[in-house]
Amino acid sequence: MQPGLFFISIFLVSALYSSLSILCSKTFNSVSCTAIANTIMRYIKWIGLAAAVVLIISCFTPWVIIESKNITVSGVDATGTNFGKPGYFHLLLSAFFIICTIIQRVWAKRLNLMVTALNTGWALRNFFVISTCQGGECPEKQLGLYLVMLSSLLLLLSALFPDMKLPQTQKTV
């Protein structure tokens, strides 16, 4: 694994998030953006949990098909290739995400942000490494690879906006 690819993928995700927020604030009416944001924020925890389930399921679906070798590569079965089993890391990070989403503590939300950033970086790495053309042959991308990418981005968005009420502290004069 190239170490630079991981950091580039995290940078791209953060750039995408900031550009979307700037686009929303400049393009649409601020009232409609606020209404949409409030609706999404109300359900973001459940969207994240559903995305975690989709990520777990998509690790078992085909990611790419290499026609010349007659190999179907999934996240947990990459027999005949040198890819290893990249889906197991997604399964581990999804379990951490689910646990940290359920725990209503500030440290859990911060840990959750780190877990989802790692997961998104790993998904981008898998997307580029597994679907790369080698020796003049390009593998055929399947739905599972796109689902891993989409669900990892949804997990990151869910971790960026946790549904948590912070305790109010009163200042004494």
The confidence score (pLDDT) of residue 80 equals 80
| Mean pLDDT across 3-27 | 58
The confidence score (pLDDT) of residue 14 equals 61
The confidence score (pLDDT) of residue 9 equals 58
CB–CB of 63/71 below 8 Å? no
CB–CB of 161/109 below 8 Å? no
Q: Quote the CA–CA distance of 66 and 72 in Å, as a whole number.
A: 6
The confidence score (pLDDT) of residue 54 equals 94
**126-165: pLDDT as tens digits:** 999 998 888 888 899 999 999 999 999 999 989 988 877 7
Q: Which two tokens stand for residue 100?
A: 């940290």
The larger pLDDT score, comparing residue 112 to residue 83, is at 112
Domain limits of the chain? 27-160
Residue type, 119: N
User: What pairing do the DSSP bridges indicate for beta strands 71-74 and 62-66?
Assistant: antiparallel
pLDDT at 18 over 90: no
